[in-house]
Amino acid sequence: MSAVKRDYNGRAKIAAEAPRGRFHDMFEGFRDELDQHHDRRERLVKVSRDVTAQSKKMYVVFYSYLQVMSSSLLTPLLASLLYKGTQPATRDSLICRTILTKPRNRVKELNKELSSNIQKDMDTRLAEIATLLSSVAPDLQSINRYRYQSTMRCLEELVEALSFAHYLRRQTLITLSEAQAAVPAAEAVGLTEYDYMYGVFDLFGELMRFATVTTAQTGRLLGGGDGDGDGHSRTLLSDMQELGCAFEMMRDVPTRDYRQKVEAMRQSVKKVEKLGYGLVVRGSERPKGWVPDMKEDAADHGSP
């Protein structure tokens, strides 16, 4: 308890109110604005985390319907490859779900409609994402949409999931307008060109994982789209190479994020190329269910 100052008669002294300077009101306004900024950012961080989690669960929808391998060692290996980079607790839960899932309604061909079970699960996830994004729509109006661009990285994850689903259905790249129409609550939040571009960059990593898993199960690179007219159908590898070449021709953006995305894209294409070369050159030597060792890619820096 703080001491109370008293005069010589024992009466408590009333502290004189400090005079307000001419800048006092201005700095109180700054304080209120900063408080609002931190509260707004905290809400966006929480929603972004939840939307990211729901987007990643959409990948589980696709992979959980892939054929589960009979080998007790290969299944955990494939599952750990799928969920590499996720939090340990979340990864363990997803791995268990993948191992225990029955191999029904699996995605085994491109350019085909998804099964009703997969579509139903996707619609459930998208409805939850719509609720989350609508709750922070007032915080992302006007200039705030770009002020919190880095905080809303969840939209990149969402574009990645939607573009992956679109590729499985049509074996084509989703356009910006199609992505904006597919994003829940897009009219309230707004999907920018940067969200779309970085989400498509992330798609390369997902296609690489999908190619690795399906090739281990089928012994071939999935495909089915119309080729270049010489009778050869498009495959995952040819699509990734064509899209990668298009990104390579784009003007360089001098930011760290862009350069990291480009490098990750190149590594993903390189891994699928190595996978295809292994099938063609040494395919007969590969045991059934063979999965490439991705650790070799980290040490391989290319030809001198």
Kindly list the averaged pLDDT for each block of 10 residues, start to end, along the chain of length 304. 74 76 88 94 95 89 55 43 51 45 51 82 91 92 89 93 91 92 83 92 93 82 64 83 92 90 95 88 66 54 42
pLDDT for residue 284: 62
- For tokens 């931190």, name the residue: 38
**What integer pLDDT is reported at residue 1 of this predicted model?**
54
Q: By the 8 A CB rule, do 159 and 191 touch? A: yes
The two three-digit tokens of residue 138, written as one number? 């007032």
Residue 79 and residue 64 in contact, taking contact as beta carbons nearer than 8 Å: no
- Per-residue pLDDT of 240-273, as tens digits, reads 999 999 999 988 888 899 999 999 999 999 999 9
Give the SS3 label for residue 11.
Answer: coil
Closest CA to 57 of 77, 76, 82, 74: 82
Which single residue is written with the structure tokens 């029955």? 102
Task: Return the CATH fold of 43-67+103-286.
Answer: Methane Monooxygenase Hydroxylase; Chain G, domain 1 (1.20.58)
Token pair recorded at residue 53: 């989690």
Tokens 């899932």 sit at which residue? 101
Domain boundaries, the chain: 43-67+103-286
Q: Residue 146 is encoded by which pair of tokens? A: 């770009």
